[in-house]
Structure 1
Amino acid sequence: MKTKQFLTLLVLMIVFFNSYGQKAMTFQEAEVRGRSFQHLDSLYKSAVDADPKRAVFKTPQEQAELQKSYSALIQDLGVFLKANDFNWEKPTRCFNRIYFNPGGKIDYFLFNFPKDMIAAEKEKEFQRLLNVFIKDYKFPMKAKENFAQCSPVKYN
């Protein structure tokens, strides 16, 4: 393989892996990238469910711990955003669906702001910082399988 062809191939591989390596994205971006929430939901079991047989965390104690850990994750994200000079101009609603591997690492963090809730530039900066945050974040709960948790959030 010639040097020029090799360099072209290398650049294409870097672009490909960087675009698919992004873990935090809007629901719409996930759809375009072939990672729709429906697809991910087929790979990740719900952390909690009205029917405990279908949930990863079945007991009331596990579910209480999940709620506590999930709230801490959202609070930790807020602290991280503030420490990185990201400020919300007003209370901002969002919907999150987060996909975890059994060890507690975040595989995907999908989010959606209601239409016209925030400026496009602000959303992109949120997404950039969110990707930095989830890169090293470790959810304290472990499981025997992949799991997902979702919720509405109001950022202040």
Structure 2
Amino acid sequence: MQPKITILVFGFLLYFTCSSSAQKIAMSFEEAANQGVPFEHLDSLYKSAVHSDKDLAVFKSPDEQAKLRRAYAQMLHDLGIFLKENNFHWETQVRSFNRIYFNADGAVDYFLYNFAPEQISTEKEREFKQLLHLFVQHYSFPLKAGEKFAQCSPVKYLDR
């Protein structure tokens, strides 16, 4: 029986510009900045998956954007299943913001996250980071593009 996981994705952001040679890294926004790879730098290297100006987007048509939304939601759902299969429990609803940088083949280069203040203990975040790192090592986004791209969104994680 497949475990039930609910991850609510809100506000598919349209203004996101993000390309870099990276190795599958999962870390908080703060860690990325401290390690010399702030999101502003990554944003200058990766093209936006979607954008209000279609010329600046990787996925331009409404059909491509709909496929992207479905694939992105499925990726977050798959992450939830992976976490549950690895005995990770949120214990309560947790808010986060993710910015994910993909190579042209759909592999994750960087998965940056930021939890809302006081949403998660240091130990729970450490456990999440370890599992997220394992997840991005093997996960491939189902959509491919001719170039590196990025997508972001606020997320609510919770156990079901």
TM-score by length of 2: 0.84
Could you tell me which residue of structure 1 aligns to residue 26 of structure 2? 24
Give 1:75 deviation, angstroms.
Answer: 0.0
Could you tell me which residue of structure 2 aligns to residue 10 of structure 1? none
Separation in structure 1 between the aligned mates of residue 93 and residue 52 of structure 2, nearest angstrom: 30
Give 1:89 deviation, angstroms.
Answer: 1.0
- Are 1:72 and 2:74 counterparts? yes
> Structure 1 stretches (4+) deviating beyond 4 angstroms?
none
CA pair 64-85 structure 1, distance change in 2 beyond 3 A: same
RMSD value, Cα: 1.1
- Equivalent position amino acid for 1:154 in 2: K
1:125-144 superposed matches below 5 A: 125-144=127-146
Could you tell me which residue of structure 1 aligns to residue 15 of structure 2? none
TM-score by length of 1: 0.86
CA contact (8 A) 2:96 2:114 kept: yes
- Equivalent position amino acid for 1:136 in 2: H
The runs of 5 or more residues in structure 1 that have no matched partner are 1-19
* Cα-to-partner distance string for 1:39-68 (whole Å, 9 max, x where unaligned): 000110010011111100000010000000
CA pair 77-53 structure 1, distance change in 2 beyond 3 A: same
Could you tell me which residue of structure 2 aligns to residue 146 of structure 1? 148
Could you tell me which residue of structure 1 aligns to residue 38 of structure 2? 36
* Structure having the higher Rg: 1
SS class of match (2:134): helix
* Cα-to-partner distance string for 1:7-32 (whole Å, 9 max, x where unaligned): xxxxxxxxxxxxx9660000000001
Richer in helix (by share): 1
Richer in strand (by share): 2
Tell me: higher relative CO, structure 1 or 2? Use CA pairs within 8 A at least 6 residues apart. Answer: 2
Number of residue pairs the alignment of both structures matches: 137
SS class of match (2:142): coil
Which residue of the other structure, out of 118, 121, 124, is the alignment partner of 1:122? Answer: 124
SS class of match (2:76): helix
